[in-house]
Structure 1
Amino acid sequence: MEYVPRERVTSLTAVLSVVSLAVVFAAAGGRIPSSTVPAAPEWILDLIPHVNVLISATAIGTITLGWRAIRRGNVDRHRVAMLASFGLFAAFLTLYLYRLVATGGPQPFPGPDAVYQFVYLPVLAIHIFLAVVCVPLVYYALLLAFAYPVEELYQTNHARFGRVAASLWLISFSLGIVVYILLHVTY
């Protein structure tokens, strides 16, 4: 059963990627006014980074489970794990963007300038770069999975793009946890 027309996978990937990244960059660049999101008490805004680190750790687990499942030939478990990973990613991003817009921008780094320049910024830059690169890869792998039955999926680029997307996703989520530790634990 086809959920996405096969001939639309590439164009739908492009549209979803552009729209998603436009929203992220608009929020990060302060182009979305805080009046566009409902107000939340300060304690909720303060709680979001802690919830997001739990979401990130859980996503690392579900991506790993999905990878192991497909290597063992368990397509159903792989599908559930990867859809859960995507749902966790969407939840993370929704909470992150909400907090970003509601607070008026990214949280300043509270640590020493040397750590900021030589540790925090490089880790953050790689984390953001990988997250941006992952968006079209994840969409493409996901849309291929919805466009083809399992028997035909092996003849597509789903596995190739899925391996790259999962690898980069794992690294990005892991670096996100490092960023959290630097912002909320170490300093």
Structure 2
Amino acid sequence: MQVVPRERVRPVTAILSVVSLAIVFAAAGGQIPPSLVPDAPGWLLDAIPHVNVVISAAAIVTIALGWRAIRRGNVDRHRILMVTSFLLFAAFLVLYLFRLISTGGPDPFPGPDAVYRFVYLPVLAIHIFLAVVCVPLVYYALVLAMAYPIEELPRTNHARFGRYAASLWLISFSLGIVVYVLLHVGY
């Protein structure tokens, strides 16, 4: 069943990417007023980073297993795992944005200035860059999968873009865990 018409794959990918990234950058830049999200108790806002690191770890596992499944030719398992990865990513993002908007911005780095400059900022910058690059790649692979029957997907760019998306997604999620450790465990 074709959910997205084939000729709409690129425009749908572009619209989803632009809207998603605009929301993320608006939230990160403090352009979305906290009054737009429901009030949450402090304990809930404090729990979100810990929940998100678990979600990130689960996403790393599902991406890796999805990659393994397709290498073994198990398309159904691959599809389930990659959709699960996307849903985990969506849950992560909703929670992250909710906290970011509710608290008025990202957490300040609590450690020493040298660690901030030479470890935290470079890791954070690479994590953010890969996450931004990942968004259109993930959307493109998913939209292609929704536009073509399984038997036709090998004749599309799904596998090529999927490999790039999965690789960058894995690295970004892993670096996100490093950022979490630096912010919430190390200091």
Q: TM-score, normalised by structure 1?
A: 1.00
Residue 61 of structure 1 and its aligned partner are, at CA, apart by 0.2
In the alignment, what sits opposite 1:33? Answer: 33
Q: How many residues align?
A: 187
CA-to-aligned-CA distance 1:66-108 (integer Å, 9 cap, x gap): 0000000000000000000000000000000000000000100
Counting only pairs closer than 5 Å after superposition, residues 15-164 of structure 1 correspond to structure 2 as 15-164=15-164
Tell me, in whole angstroms, the C-alpha distance in 1 between the residues paired with 2:28 and 2:128. 11
Whether 1:177 aligns to 2:177 is yes
Tell me, in whole angstroms, the C-alpha distance in 1 between the residues paired with 2:52 and 2:113. 25
Over 3 Å off, 4+ runs: none
In the alignment, what sits opposite 1:12? Answer: 12
Tell me, in whole angstroms, the C-alpha distance in 1 between the residues paired with 2:48 and 2:97. 10
Tell me, in whole angstroms, the C-alpha distance in 1 between the residues paired with 2:88 and 2:150. 23
Tell me, in whole angstroms, the C-alpha distance in 2 between the residues paired with 1:50 and 1:66. 24
Tell me, in whole angstroms, the C-alpha distance in 1 between the residues paired with 2:5 and 2:120. 43
One-letter amino acid of the counterpart of residue 51, structure 1: V
Q: TM-score, normalised by structure 2?
A: 1.00
Tell me, in whole angstroms, the C-alpha distance in 2 between the residues paired with 1:127 and 1:76. 30
Q: Please, which runs of 5 or more residues in structure 2 have no aligned partner?
A: none
% same residue: 80
Q: Please, which runs of 5 or more residues in structure 1 have no aligned partner?
A: none
Tell me, in whole angstroms, the C-alpha distance in 1 between the residues paired with 2:43 and 2:8. 43
Residue 163 of structure 1 and its aligned partner are, at CA, apart by 0.1
